[in-house]
A = this chain, B = another copy of it.
């Protein structure tokens, strides 16, 4: 296996391109999502083997649910199916998203508290019905909010650490609301391939690039 002089502790994943992949391969747009589950599991196994401590997957957002209903249903189901498959692995799962909405899949409610599967070897965070604005305003709207504090300590995603590296599949070079606070200093790598066309060489290319970035945090 490849070795690296420096690895990210926490990798964020934007698994984009499912719909474009579906259309290019003769499927309906909404059929693309189910082809995104296996890549996620393979990526989890690769990162576990490499010693990555934490991963965050961008499932779907509140904005995404404005899409046609058959697409929304399909990505909701893909998220539930992904979690059901993860149960057989050694993950420590936290689902983060707006549960005060019928669009949040109720099957995932138990995992909005961090839950160990197997040996719970890697922290996996999964954003489901997530909204950046919901996330940031979350703590502020609570009755016990203290405006003297730094509000970023009380965001909905406060149990998710700073991301060192973000890998986005599908060629687009934007964050699209992916954890605004935790992405502040993240190095951002874009793979041109659509997410269902995932393979491990794409990850090794990202890690190779990452190990040569200097980390200054602005200093």
A residues in contact (CB < 8 Å) with B: 61, 63-64, 66-67, 132-133, 136-137, 140-141, 145, 147-148, 150-152, 172-177, 180-181, 183-189, 213, 217-219
Q: Who on chain B is nearest to A188 by CB?
A: B173
> A8 to chain B: closest CB distance in Å?
12
Contact B173 A189 (CB under 8 A): yes
B contact residues around A140 at 8 Å (CB): 140, 147, 151
The dominant DSSP class at the A interface is loop
Contact A176 B184 (CB under 8 A): yes
B contact residues around A151 at 8 Å (CB): 136-137, 140, 151
Contact B180 A180 (CB under 8 A): yes
Task: Show 9 residue pairs from A and B whose CB-CB distance is below 8 angstroms, ordered by the A residue.
Answer: A63-B219, A66-B219, A136-B136, A140-B151, A141-B147, A172-B187, A174-B187, A174-B188, A175-B184
Stoichiometry, as copies per complex, reads: 2
Contact B175 A187 (CB under 8 A): no
Contact A177 B218 (CB under 8 A): yes
B contact residues around A141 at 8 Å (CB): 147-148
Pick from B132, B172, B188, B213: contact of A184, CB under 8 Å: B132
Contact B150 A147 (CB under 8 A): no
Contact B152 A219 (CB under 8 A): no
B contact residues around A136 at 8 Å (CB): 136, 151-152
Q: Who on chain B is nearest to A218 by CB?
A: B63
B contact residues around A189 at 8 Å (CB): 173
B contact residues around A213 at 8 Å (CB): 172-173
Among A151, A173, A186, max chain B CB count under 10 A is at: A173
B contact residues around A152 at 8 Å (CB): 133, 136-137
Pick from B137, B176, B184: contact of A180, CB under 8 Å: B184
